[in-house]
Chains A and B, each alone.
Chain A
């Protein structure tokens, strides 16, 4: 709501700068979007009087004007506006002036004729085209005759009036009006403005009830009232009214329509005016019929639905109630008889209609947020009086009322104790009462407390908490003390799961992976990649874009998007992890998916930058495996960790992927992204893992990770063998562990080799074995016996050739 400071001053004594007033409003009532002054940035714009005008000899549309600007000699100004004429008072941009858009105007020659300035249209000095009246839209603006020549124009165009744009919250619909804002400021500044009741001079010879009749569905319109004004003369409004409207962002149309908009601004009560002679018979407020159509004032044809409320006559809809009038009953220059409507339409219907037809009009905005039931009649009365004043005619006697609504005013009981209990203040009952006095709420002492009667204009207040808010904001949030909660103690600790998740992040970061947070919503195709279990997709009903339609069932596709983004920005080395939810559904009928916490990581390129002493190698499967393994070990999960070759993930390299099992439970997988998928995502050779974080959390943990360090020296033996290429490390280690004897403590693979000096189909593997006896010094003979046994078993079981 754009509020004119000057308008407020008609009711209140305000002398602070507009900026300070805005700050006060912001801290006490509602947010302020901006404070603007029309004349800001403009310079040397004055009222000029066109003395004479002649045609430009070199042009068919330019005119040469002699313009009195209050100086000794008139200026010669060339003007091309179609509506320019001698005798007009106009906006003159003097030489070296500045007009809208920070444009400077200088003396110049136009087709050989000197022009000492410019005669301006409104949109040339900063007005939005949306608010310029039609009559001035295609030409220069012409002042009323009584404007003094040579004076700066700003005052005569309302450009010296600071406009405060309020961002009114949904609950404060009362502030979408000047009177509502005046009440609010009266409370803030403790003033008592006089708001006069309108007086209508009715013509007793015409009875409104004989002119029109109306019926209304009370579910749709709690209040519905009409007035009739006969024999008006439709004309442009006087400049004060035009200024008021355009400063509020509303385009002046004519004296009848402008009055209804003026009343909307003043009371927050939207009105509508019909040309009585275009109404067929009587008026009814009803739901639209299926298939009905209405061309609204914006000249768009609206297809109506039964959820729309319409004003209809005997023949057809004539207005989309509360949203926009119909073109068929529009006030035109020829209109003589006017019907004014003042009503309260159901806010829910209006909101839906405004959304459906994308017509968020000033009227709709107000009906959506509520209307003061006590203002409906004042508004229509003042409208009739003002139309009578500006457009002449006769106001028919009486108001035609189809429905009416005057709810009982709510009375809310509060105590100072309760208010202080909630706010943390130490206010007395008298202090609280004085706040209600300022707000204009009647309050009566009742025992310890107050019974507060809420005026109809504050329909947002229903319960004591609403009153506490009123007390707090008028008392001032700045004056509230700042304390911390006291009372019964609580313990703030992370749960075991939260601790584990936090530890996981620290481990993964320590390993060299950076935390990513990717989008959970992705494409259907990406959502179903890297599936660790069978699942249906979870799709949005109305996605915003094709890129985000489906809830992910894996984290890796998001991380691959991240890698691709990095590659596209010339970053080849990426090492990321993510912990987040994936969303599974067992069947398509299931609506709500199961949310499972996963952890995943990707690496590609080098882990560190190559440097003078850092000779890097690109990452491979085993770099990723080392990371994942360390991660799982650090979590202290009970049981063996197994890596089982897996070729069943369509998105993973079939020969370089392993399922990860802990104590026989599958918890995820690790491997190289399938080159086909890598190509599709536009990523380079990338290694990845994804684990079910929830499973890791749920698996039992080692309570006791400690084993004493052996006090006796260990003995090392190296063994080198040639085995068939398809023999795995796990097979070799399994034999060693099974046959290694009681003292075999550690097995470390230190070399694997295929190629020269090793026969085809064979590979060489070399292990270092450590033997320890925790109870006494080991003897060489004991180790030798154990070592020989291993050699024998490797030869027998794996056909190994020991070297």
Chain B
């Protein structure tokens, strides 16, 4: 058998063994045996000196090709074996992906806070500042400067928690109108503010009344602010809080500190305007009060009502939350049942 034939046979046998190797260890032994110094190729090449000088490089080159072929075959077989081994491991590692995940402790913002934040963020975007004020308020700011003089029917004692004749728990966030108007320097620009906070009424707690609840006051005063601006602002708010499909309507109403005064209805959540029991078949639900700031309010705060004017509105986040989520008892907001609170975990809306 010529040396070349010998080498060919080594190759054939070697490749066959490689392809049959069942594990990496056997494959490695085959590789070491075939390519090692004691292997058959090395042994066969010892006979090279018996060849003519012309034949030697050809056979040498042929031997190198065989080495390369074997090396390539070993690598390919190794990849196959490794893949097989990995697959077997992966198969063994299979889990029931339907088992529940490990519970994570996560707190939630209070649902009323979520509504307030949503309102605050909207108005920040429209250039409003956010003001907060005292919950224990002077009669002067809560009533008198809001055009509710001492004997005004709209301030019956039974609705207000008094600490003394002149000091009370604020019944509305409207005193922040007077406080903001007093402080604001109109030469520096218009006054655009919202003021969220807690207010108190001398009410018996029941599903629709709470002695403590929230309001967000809004106030814009400049040289040319119109009732159309109020309407546009309220539509923007309604659609931002409730959704694009919601519309508003204004109805005449009465508040001592605005003139004209309006109640604002929003499309009924339950029937989307078709009419149902919730909206007494009107298609609308009352959500807030608003109006053009009464000249007396401006005058009492030292603002020239012949130059400046604007609008104000008062929103009840408790009511918004009740409507938006269908909560039917306002007391749920203040009992802090964690099962109730943790439901409102949807973010980013």
CB distance from B110 to the nearest CB of A (A): 4
**Which residues from A are CB-within-8-Å of B40?**
none
Q: Does A355 contact B (CB under 8 A)?
A: yes
The answer on a CB contact under 8 Å between A595 and B251 is no
For residue B244, CB closer than 8 A to chain A, the reply is no
A–B pairs, 28, beta carbons within 8 Å: A29-B252, A31-B263, A169-B254, A171-B254, A423-B227, A463-B259, A465-B260, A472-B227, A473-B260, A477-B231, A477-B262, A484-B232, A488-B189, A490-B189, A492-B129, A494-B120, A508-B107, A514-B342, A515-B107, A515-B109, A541-B161, A541-B164, A571-B337, A571-B339, A577-B107, A595-B134, A613-B99, A614-B103
Give chain A residues whose Cβ lies under 8 Å from the Cβ of B190: 485, 487-488, 490
Q: Residues of B with Cβ closer than 8 Å to A?
A: 99-100, 102-110, 112-113, 117, 120, 123-130, 132, 134-136, 138, 151, 153-154, 156-157, 161-164, 166-167, 169, 189-190, 192, 198, 200, 202-204, 211-212, 220, 222-229, 231-233, 235-236, 249-254, 259-263, 282, 292, 294-295, 309-310, 333-339, 341-342
Residues of A within 8 A of B212 (CB): 519-521
Known: A469-B259, A485-B222, A614-B102. A541 touches B162 (CB 8 A): yes
The answer, yes or no, to whether A656 is at the interface (CB within 8 Å) is no
Interface presence of A675 (CB below 8 A): no
- Interface-side segment among A51-59, A135-143, A561-569: A561-569
Identify which of A425, A518, A595 contacts B228 (C-beta below 8 A): A425
> How far is B110's CA from A508's CA once the two chains are assembled, in angstroms?
12
A67 to B304, CA, bound (A): 77
Give CA–CA (A322, B295) in the complex, Å: 33
User: Please, which residues of chain B bring their CB within 8 A of the CB of A60?
Assistant: none
Question: Among the listed B113, B135, B153, which residue makes an inter-chain contact with A170, where contact means beta carbons less than 8 Å apart?
Answer: B153
Interface 1/0 per residue, A54-84 and B, CB below 8 Å: 0000000000000000000000000000000
B23 to chain A, nearest CB (A): 35
A514 contacts which of B153, B222, B262, B341 (Cβ < 8 Å)? B341
Looking at the complex, which one of A348, A465, A494, A571 makes contact with B294 (CB distance below 8 Å)?
A: A465
Would you call B282 and A424 a contact (CB within 8 A)? no
Distance between Cα atoms of A490 and B129 in the complex (Å)? 9
Query: What is the minimal beta-carbon distance from B225 to any residue of chain A, in angstroms?
Result: 5
In the complex, what residues of B have CB within 8 A of residue A41's CB?
none
| A575 interface residue per 8 A CB criterion | yes
Of A543-551, A765-773, A780-788, the one with at least 4 CB within 8 A of chain B: A543-551
Q: In whole angstroms, how far apart are the Cα atoms of A611 and B99 in the complex?
A: 10
Mark contacts of A496-525 with chain B using CB atoms, 8 A cut-off: 1 yes-contact digit, 0 otherwise: 001000100100111111111111110000
Q: Which of A505, A518, A607 contacts B334 (CB under 8 A)?
A: A518
Question: Whose C-beta in chain A lies nearest to the C-beta of B125?
Answer: A492
User: B65 CB to closest chain A CB, in angstroms?
Assistant: 49
Q: Which residue of B lies closest to A610 (CB)?
A: B103
Q: Is A742 an interface residue (CB 8 A)?
A: no
Q: Is the CB of B167 within 8 A of A592?
A: yes
With A485-B190, A591-B167 already in contact, 12 other A-B pairs whose C-beta atoms are closer than 8 Å: A30-B252, A170-B254, A425-B228, A477-B231, A484-B233, A514-B107, A540-B163, A542-B162, A562-B336, A566-B336, A566-B338, A592-B167
Is B163 a contact partner of A539 (Cβ separation < 8 A)?
Answer: yes
Contact A592 B136 (CB under 8 A): yes
* Chain A residues within 8 Å of B295, by CB: 463, 465
**Structural contact, A575 and B337, CB atoms closer than 8 A:** no
Name the one of B227, B249, B341 contacting A422, with C-beta atoms under 8 angstroms. Answer: B227
Partner of B163 from A509, A577, A592, A614 at Cβ < 8 Å? A592
In angstroms, Cα B202 to Cα A607, docked, is 38
A725-746 with Cβ < 8 A to chain B: none
Cα A334 to Cα B253 with chains together (Å): 47
Q: Tell me, in angstroms, the Cα distance from A559 to B249 when the chains sit together.
A: 40
From A487, A518, A583, A612, B136 is in contact (CB under 8 Å) with A583
Q: Chain A residues near B253: list those with CB within 8 A.
A: 31, 169
B154 contacts A170, C-beta separation under 8 Å: yes
Q: Give the chain B neighbours of A512 by CB distance below 8 A.
A: 105-107
Chain A, interface size category, equals 35 or more
Shortest CB-to-CB span from B159 to chain A, Å, is 11
Whole-angstrom CA separation of A613 from B223 in the bound complex: 65
Residues of B within 8 A of A491 (CB): 127
Let me know if B99 and A612 touch, CB within 8 A: yes
Tell whether A23 pairs with B282 under 8 Å between CB atoms, given A171-B254, A469-B259: yes
A520-B198, A614-B103 given; A509·B109 CB < 8 A:
yes
Q: Which residues of B contact A480 (CB under 8 A)?
A: 227-228, 231, 250
| CB atoms of B254 and A483 under 8 A apart | no
Most chain-B CB neighbours within 10 Å: which of A483, A510, A577, A612? A483
Contact present for B231 and A485 (CB under 8 Å):
no
Asked whether, in the complex, the Cβ of A538 is within 8 Å of the Cβ of B163, the reply is: yes
CB neighbours (8 Å) of A608 from chain B are 102-105
Task: Say yes or no: B107 contacts A351, CB within 8 Å.
Answer: no
**A609 interface residue per 8 A CB criterion:** yes
Docked pose: A569 CA to B339 CA in angstroms:
10
- Find out whether the CB atom of B105 lies under 8 angstroms from the CB atom of A473: no
Cα-based distance from A569 to B224 in the complex (angstroms): 55
* Shortest beta-carbon distance from B218 to chain A in Å: 11
Contact indicator B226/A483 (Cβ below 8 Å): yes
Are A611 and B100 in contact, CB atoms less than 8 angstroms apart?
Answer: yes
B108 partner residues in chain A, CB cutoff 8 A: 509, 514-515
Assembled-state Cα–Cα distance A488/B136 (Å): 34
Chain A residues with CB under 8 A of B110:
514-517
What's the Cα separation between A484 and B229 when bound, in Å? 5
Asked if A509 contacts B106 (CB within 8 A), the reply is yes
Q: Which of A465-485 contact B (CB under 8 A)?
A: 465-466, 468-469, 472-473, 477-478, 480-485
Q: How far is the CA of A490 from the CA of B102 in the complex (A)?
A: 48
Q: Are A538 and B136 in contact (CB under 8 A)?
A: yes
Name the distance in Å between A30's Cβ and chain B's nearest Cβ: 7
Q: How far is the CB of A482 from the nearest CB of chain B, in Å?
A: 4
Task: Fill in one digit per residue for A555-598: 1 if any B CB lies within 8 Å of its CB, else 0.
Answer: 00001001001100101011111001101000000011101000
- Tell whether, in the assembled complex, residue B338 and residue A469 are in contact, meaning their CB atoms are under 8 Å apart: no
B163–A591 contact, CB under 8 A? yes
Assembled-state Cα–Cα distance A327/B157 (Å)? 30
Whether A197 is near chain B, meaning CB under 8 Å from some CB there, is no
Cα distance A653–B189 in the bound complex, in angstroms: 55
When distances are taken between beta carbons in the complex, the residues of chain A under 8 Å from B334 are 517-519
Would you give the shortest CB distance from B186 to chain A, in whole angstroms? 10
Query: With A and B bound together, what is the CA distance between A486 and B204 in angstroms?
Result: 43
Among A453-470, those with CB < 8 Å from B are 463, 465-466, 468-469
Tell me, yes or no, whether A172 is within 8 Å of chain B by CB.
yes
Asked if A762 lies at the interface with its beta carbon under 8 angstroms from chain B, I say no
- A520: chain B residues at CB < 8 Å are 135, 198, 200, 212
B249 touches A477 (CB 8 A): yes
Contact, CB under 8 Å: A494 / B154: no
Interchain CA distance A554-B335 in the complex, whole Å:
17
Tell which of B125, B202, B254 touches A544, judged by Cβ atoms closer than 8 Å: B202
A506 nearest in chain B by CB position: B109
The interface centre, meaning the residue of A484, A492, A593 with most chain B CB atoms within 10 A of its CB, is: A492
A777 to chain B, nearest CB (A): 38
Min CB distance A309 to B, Å, is 15
Asked if A517 and B154 sit within 8 Å, CB to CB, the answer is no
Which residue of A has the minimal Cβ distance to B263? A31
A689 to chain B minimum Cβ distance, whole angstroms, is 14
* Nearest CB of chain A from residue B208's CB, rounded to whole Å: 16
In the bound complex, how far is the Cα of B219 from the Cα of A359, in angstroms? Answer: 39
By a CB distance below 8 angstroms, the chain A residues around B259 are 463, 465-466, 468-469
Q: Is the CB of A576 within 8 A of B232?
A: no
How many angstroms from the CA of A540 to the CA of B164 in the assembled complex?
Answer: 8
Q: Are B125 and A593 in contact (CB under 8 A)?
A: no
B222 lies within 8 A of A487 (CB) = yes
Name which residue of chain B comes closest to A469, CB basis: B260
* CB <8 Å contact, B126 and A613: no
Residues of B within 8 A of A489 (CB): 127, 189
Answer whether residue A26 sits at the interface, using C-beta atoms and an 8 A cutoff.
yes
Interface string of A611-641 (1 = CB under 8 A from B): 1111000000000000000000000000000
